[in-house]
Amino acid sequence: MKNFEEEDIDALLTGALKKEPDLDLPHGFAVITARKVNRRGKSEFKTYLLAWLSVIVIASIAVCMLTLSKSEAAVQLLAFLSRFKYIIGSVIFVVLGIEFLDQKVTRSYL
């Protein structure tokens, strides 16, 4: 059951949606927007590179700290990583591949 306030809001929204907006976009709006999106895409490589370098540096620092504090734990961690290096590499490759394809498909629709 609607109260009086909700009926007023519904009537106001219905009336507002029936008329055309007063704002008029410039004729080249789509071109300008597409150009800005493409310009932003060129800097994505630098962003991804910086992100992966940050992950590698943080992981290296973590392994070094682990080695300094508990060498046995570091040996076990490195043994685990070397045992499953192909699986870990495959997972990283698949994730990066999905991200790459997503970017290509998304850009083809713009």
Tokens representing 18 are: 């029936």
Q: What percent of the chain has pLDDT over 90?
A: 11
Please tell me the total count of domains within the chain.
Answer: 1
List, for residues 48-71, the tens digit of each pLDDT value.
788 889 989 998 898 888 888 888
Residue at 52 is within a domain: yes
Range of the domain at 43: 27-108
Confirm whether pTM is higher than 0.75: no
Cβ–Cβ < 8 Å for 85, 99: no
Residue at 5 is within a domain: no
Residue at 19 is within a domain: no
Residue at 3 is within a domain: no
Buried-state track 15-43, b at ≥16 Cβ within 10 A, e below 16: eeeeeeeeeeeeeeeeeeeeeeeeeeeee
Residue at 7 is within a domain: no
